[in-house]
A and B are shown apart, each in its own frame.
Chain A
Amino acid sequence: MPLSFIVAWMPGSRNRVLPRPPHLPARATDFRSLLAGVVSIAWGATGASLAHADRLAGATLAQQGGGGAPACMTCHGATGEGQAAAGFPRLAGQGQAYLLKQLQAFADGTRKNPQMAPIARSLSAAQMRDAADYYASLPGWKQAGAPHTPSAQYTQGLKIVTEGDWSKEMPACFACHGIAGEGVPPHFPALAGQPTAYTQTQLSAWRAAQRTNDPLGLMQAVAEKMSDAEIAAVSRYLENPSRAGKEK
């Protein structure tokens, strides 16, 4: 790493390594690319060990709480699986960047939630990262149990989730959230396995513009095209999604 530092700071090395686009002011670009280089070098050298440490700290936070925050598992389940009856979301296997962003949003009020706001505010930036790292490292949702006979609502949910309804410009959920709803980091969270009540609450909040922390307003644009019945069907399907959607 020290050698990398020296090379990065050597006069003349910047333009050779990273040619500057002609339309951008020289100084800003060079400073930014230099900074990015240094950060990525440092990250590469220490990232692996740090991530591991973060995860351990996150596990402690999840199981015991810390600094005034209760243990995450109290509501989000022993293995981060969520709590279906109460509508507490599944965290296990969720994208790290997404989880971190939500914690920050709860803390700064850009995502409103009376339970999470005080908890998020009591966490330090490092603790937020630890918790996000920990839950992201846990295994994601896997379908378990025998396929059941799908209700009409489940089938309707399957159709919206996989195909959307383009007659009203409504894209499929899985067009962005992954082919099986497993999420597409860093921006698109996993949907598969989320409790019905959680998804339903969130979609309704997007639609009512009560939740607005989505990039480019993408989620809001979709949710506002959904009817109550469609929200219910999608939420129901996503709790236990099956690709085929039929009994075998």
Chain B
Amino acid sequence: MSFRTWYKSQKQTRKFHPGWIVIAVGGVLVVAGIIAIPATLVAETAPPPAAAASPPAASGHGKAPGAAMPKVIEQTPGPARLRNAKTIQVDFSPPPDEAMPTDEFGKAVRLGKDIFTDTQTYARQYVGNKLNCVNCHLGAGRKADSAPLWAAYGMFPAYRDKNKHVNTYEERLAGCFRFSMNGKAPAPDSKEMVALVSYSYWLAKGAPLGVELKGRGYPQLAEPSQKPDAVRGKQVFEANCALCHGVDGQGTEMSGRYVFPPLWGKNSFNGGAGMSKVKNAAAFVHANMPLGKGNSLSEQEAWDVAQYLDSKPRPPDPRKGKSS
């Protein structure tokens, strides 16, 4: 019996129309497509399921801090920066300074860089502490994994949970001044803001818009196997950080300028700053500290030292009016 005669006989008996097979197969393919395509994207960016699903092997060990971080998580390739598994990360390198234009726009870019690296001089009236932008955004805002400007620029405007509305890039920078610099924001059309936006825009020249670039923000760490602990953190601090930042965390000042920034107290960022969140500080520290030796502390040490920083007083979050 050929397919044609079988098809006709089925059609005539009216018990089962073969067209349903076509519809059913088509439906399965559509459903499979909906599931499979995003799954492929997830697979490109997400850590291998075996590593991600393994329980932290060393949790509960009575080992010294630092030795306690399970190897499993250490080996997971770049798990941390994946805030959103659906994003595809793109490599990007900002243009070299030598390529900075020399026209009027170039002047704004140059001023933006000056403000960024020496905020205390070039944007003095907007700063309420002793920090410079470059303290948290290393390498004049260029260093990957240290919240580089080129990776931030193309991600705005964006909705932010922090203030529950869509923020322009200018408003994002204003947040830095208000919280991280414990000051007040330059107006969106002020020469300082125009310069900072120009510098960011120039650094992001050639980057795709609205795309998560590799190296954006601080690479978020996996949950620590041991609860972050300020007492262990104090030991980490004194062994690895106090050399430059001082045992009292107040940084090192040389002829009126801070070579190493104060980490707490009245001269540091306030309680509303992103860096005042333990997870952000841990991520920054792990990727970038001690300077030139990023990724040398264990993740647990980074969590602990961040918890220690969090235990210290700092100016209050201006939105709350009390210390946090």
Interface residues of A (CB under 8 A from B): 23, 159, 163-164, 166-167, 169-171, 175-176, 178-179, 182, 184, 187, 215-218, 221-222
How far apart sit A213 and B256, CA to CA, in the bound complex (Å)? Answer: 29
Interface residues of B (CB under 8 A from A): 93, 97, 138-140, 142-144, 146, 231, 240, 243-244, 252, 254, 257, 259-260, 290-294, 296
Q: How far does the Cβ of B143 sit from chain A's closest Cβ, in whole Å?
A: 4
A169–B290 touching, CB < 8 Å: no
B293–A217 touching, CB < 8 Å: yes
How far apart sit A166 and B143, CA to CA, in the bound complex (Å)? Answer: 6
How far apart sit A171 and B140, CA to CA, in the bound complex (Å)? Answer: 11
B292–A171 touching, CB < 8 Å: yes
How far apart sit A179 and B118, CA to CA, in the bound complex (Å)? Answer: 11
Chain B interface, >50% SS class: mixed
Q: How far does the Cβ of B34 sit from chain A's closest Cβ, in whole Å?
A: 41
Chain A residues with Cβ below 8 Å from B291 are 171, 175-176, 218
B294–A216 touching, CB < 8 Å: no
Closest to B143 in A: A166
8 more A-B residue pairs beyond the given contacts A163-B97, A216-B243, with a C-beta to C-beta distance below 8 A: A23-B231, A163-B139, A163-B140, A166-B143, A176-B291, A178-B254, A216-B293, A221-B296
Chain B residues with Cβ below 8 Å from A176 are 244, 259-260, 291
Pick from A159, A163, A218: contact of B292, CB under 8 Å: A218
- A187/B293 contact (C-beta < 8 A), A163-B139, A182-B254 known: no
Closest to A172 in B: B139
How far apart sit A234 and B296, CA to CA, in the bound complex (Å)? Answer: 26
Pick from B97, B139, B293: contact of A221, CB under 8 Å: B293
B293–A166 touching, CB < 8 Å: no
Closest to B257 in A: A179
How far apart sit A163 and B94, CA to CA, in the bound complex (Å)? Answer: 15
Chain B residues with Cβ below 8 Å from A187 are 243-244
- A216/B240 contact (C-beta < 8 A), A166-B138, A169-B292, A169-B294 known: yes
Chain A residues with Cβ below 8 Å from B254 are 178-179, 182, 184
Closest to B241 in A: A216
Chain B residues with Cβ below 8 Å from A216 are 240, 243, 290, 293
How far apart sit A222 and B290, CA to CA, in the bound complex (Å)? Answer: 11
Chain B residues with Cβ below 8 Å from A221 are 292-293, 296
27 A–B pairs (Cβ distance < 8 Å), ordered by A: A23-B231, A163-B97, A164-B139, A166-B138, A166-B144, A169-B294, A170-B292, A171-B139, A171-B291, A175-B259, A176-B244, A176-B259, A178-B254, A178-B259, A179-B254, A179-B257, A179-B259, A184-B260, A187-B244, A215-B243, A216-B243, A216-B290, A216-B293, A217-B293, A218-B292, A221-B292, A221-B296
Closest to A171 in B: B292
| B139, B140, B296 — most chain A CB neighbours (10 Å) | B139
Q: How far does the Cβ of B223 sit from chain A's closest Cβ, in whole Å?
A: 24
Chain B residues with Cβ below 8 Å from A164 are 139
How far apart sit A216 and B238, CA to CA, in the bound complex (Å)? Answer: 12
| A171, A215, A218 — most chain B CB neighbours (10 Å) | A171
How far apart sit A27 and B260, CA to CA, in the bound complex (Å)? Answer: 34
How far apart sit A187 and B138, CA to CA, in the bound complex (Å)? Answer: 21
A222–B292 touching, CB < 8 Å: yes
Q: How far does the Cβ of B218 sit from chain A's closest Cβ, in whole Å?
A: 14
Chain A residues with Cβ below 8 Å from B138 are 166, 171
How far apart sit A167 and B140, CA to CA, in the bound complex (Å)? Answer: 12
Q: How far does the Cβ of A156 sit from chain B's closest Cβ, in whole Å?
A: 11
Q: How far does the Cβ of B38 sit from chain A's closest Cβ, in whole Å?
A: 33
B259–A184 touching, CB < 8 Å: yes
| A166, A170, A179, A221 — most chain B CB neighbours (10 Å) | A166
Chain A residues with Cβ below 8 Å from B146 are 166
How far apart sit A217 and B239, CA to CA, in the bound complex (Å)? Answer: 12
Chain A residues with Cβ below 8 Å from B257 are 179
